[in-house]
Amino acid sequence: MPHVLQEIRDAGILISDQDPRVILMIKAYLQMDGFRRFHAANSAAEVLPMAVEVHPDLIMLDVRLSERIGVETLQGIRAHPGLAATPVVALVGDYTSESKLELLRCGATDLLSKPLHEAELIARTRNVLAAKISQDRLSEHFQQLEDAVRTRNSELHAARRELVLCLARAAEVRDDDTGHHILRVGRYARVIGEELGMEPEQLDLLESAAQLHDIGKIGIPDNVLLKPGKLTPEEYAIIQKHCGFGKKIIDGSVVRELYRDATTARAHAELGATIMSVSESPFLSVAKRVALTHHECWDGSGYPVGLAGEDIPIEGRIVAVADVFDALSVKRPYKPAYPLEKCFEILREGRGTQFDPTVIDAFFKRRDDVVQIQIDFADVD
């Protein structure tokens, strides 16, 4: 095809031979066929640094096996990450089947024997460059596919995240009209994570996942969730179930239970299970750990599992502090907002029992940031 032939002739060719006359001959033959872009090296030692600089589309390299000239250069080209795919045509004298095999094993793409034959030189040059162009296009196509898949996965993960955050907001609005509680808890968790040295990507996951900590409230009846007075032991046991509910919602088991219980909802169940799948979502994996473990205590007295110490995931330990501080510092149906100093005092008293000492210490080191978050996202009547 004419445009392919023109692309071949536009290729850059690096020629190396100890005999300058060979270089001139190759250039002359190829120029007569329409090639115009050449680079020349008079020794094999010059080839690798020159190739790194000019990035040729084809290298023609003088190789003499008996003297080991050019062999190390050929191996160096193949070992260089920027040149490994660059085709190399070895210029050789008489060679046996064994020497031809050795050169191919060393990485030669093709061989040209000297003295050179014009028609063979042009034909092999065209063929090698045509193969390179095809390979480049294939690699570019694969890269485009990878980019498309990466973009689609990113969109899917973003959709999953937004869907679950919508559920979290739906749960929270039942006892918090502003929805600021989940935002504050997310921000508190982030500043604690920063103080603990988490990486930015981890902090992004933590802040978003922390907002899902009470998503299991969806499963708690209003007469218990919104009760203004003290809960009975039976009611408190119901409240404790929200951790397990949250885990089920995030990992999709609620949707799968729906499918088992109602065959008419099959399409919805399958769609929901796909959206909620955590197999490829670090965000939902963190969110599940947070939802399940943010009421566990450092000394093992928490719920729903009774984990203790570092058996509690770090995300759960962080959100435990953030959630309790916010619950203390704002008005709820069952309690007034406590003064700031009283909130801090209660947290200090829980150090080493309810809360991880390291996490509590990180929280207090960022006290100014915590107060600012409280101001920025205050619930104002």
Q: Which residues are catalytic?
A: 217
Give ∠ CA 127-130-136 in degrees, rounded to 5.
140
Local structure of residue 252 (DSSP, 8 states): T
Sheet with strand 12-16: strands edge to edge: 37-41, 12-16, 58-62, 88-92, 110-113
Residues facing residue 59 across a β-bridge: 14, 88
**DSSP states along 192-213:** HHHHTT--HHHHHHHHHHHTTT
CB neighbours of residue 313 within 10 Å: 18
Rounded distance between C-alpha atoms, residue 61 and residue 262, angstroms: 72
For the stretch 339-358, what's the b/e string if a residue is b when 16 or more beta carbons lie within 10 angstroms of its beta carbon? eeeebbeebeebbeebbbeb
**Torsion of the alpha carbons at 49, 51, 54 and 60, rounded to the nearest 10:** 140
Question: Interhelix angle for 118-172 vs 20-32, to 10°?
Answer: 80
Give ∠ CA 249-180-375 in degrees, rounded to 5.
150
**Type of residue numbered 262:** A
CB neighbours of residue 30 within 10 Å: 23
Rounded distance between C-alpha atoms, residue 322 and residue 315, angstroms: 11
| Residue that is written with structure tokens 């000297």 in the block | 114
| Residue that is written with structure tokens 């084809």 in the block | 58
Q: Which two tokens stand for residue 369?
A: 């940031």
Q: Which two tokens stand for residue 358?
A: 């390291």
Residues near 191 by Cβ (< 8 Å), separated by ≥ 6?
A: 366, 369, 370, 373
Local structure of residue 227 (DSSP, 8 states): -
